[in-house]
Amino acid sequence: MKAIIQRVTSAKVTVGEDLISSIGKGLCVLVGISNEDNANDVDWLAKKLLNIRLFEDPAGKRWSQSVLDQKLEILCISQFTLYNRMKGNKPDFSKAMQGTEAQSLYSSLLQKLAAQYELGKIKDGKFGALMQVHIQNDGPVTIEIESPPQSQQELDKLKRANEHKAKSKKGCEAVREGEGQ
């Protein structure tokens, strides 16, 4: 997963004339999801977003506090165009994860952030919509981060865990169906 993190004094997302979300001081984060991303990338990015030190402490020491330290808000916006490559003068987005799979990972990022912080402090745009993002960049400060590539061993472990979850879910559904008879 890739994120463009902007320290802001305010930010909002609109779709047409409708206000979708807004925050005061905090972070506005553009989130890109690649075809290779999974739950490990979500965990990594959530931890980084909550702990990255982009703010001054009360004594004025720069780069010493995070959104957690200052109890600030985070506005996340899905941004498939972060995973582009140029083919001549035309962008190609084939590295970006598509559709429901991308939406699922993006939603899990929002849930992870809310679970590790405060639900009311995590805002987002509207997945898949043509949005207008309005920010007041503070500094300006803009940082790009990307989750590290994973080893085959980590990918195999995640695959086994997902298969186990799927089997458990099927077993629970079968039990529920049996109870209903």
- Residues near 180 by Cβ (< 8 Å), separated by ≥ 6? none
User: Among the options 14, 55, 65, 81, which is catalytic?
Assistant: 81
Per the CB < 8 A criterion, the answer to whether 145 and 98 are in contact is: no
Whether residue 132 lies in the annotated active site: no
Whether residue 79 lies in the annotated active site: yes
Whether residue 93 lies in the annotated active site: no
User: Among the options 79, 111, 142, 150, which is catalytic?
Assistant: 79
What 3-state DSSP class applies to 88? coil
CA distance 116 to 43: 10
**Locate tokens 């429901």: which residue?**
100
User: Among the options 6, 55, 80, 142, which is catalytic?
Assistant: 80
CA distance 136 to 130: 20
Residues with a known catalytic role: 79-81
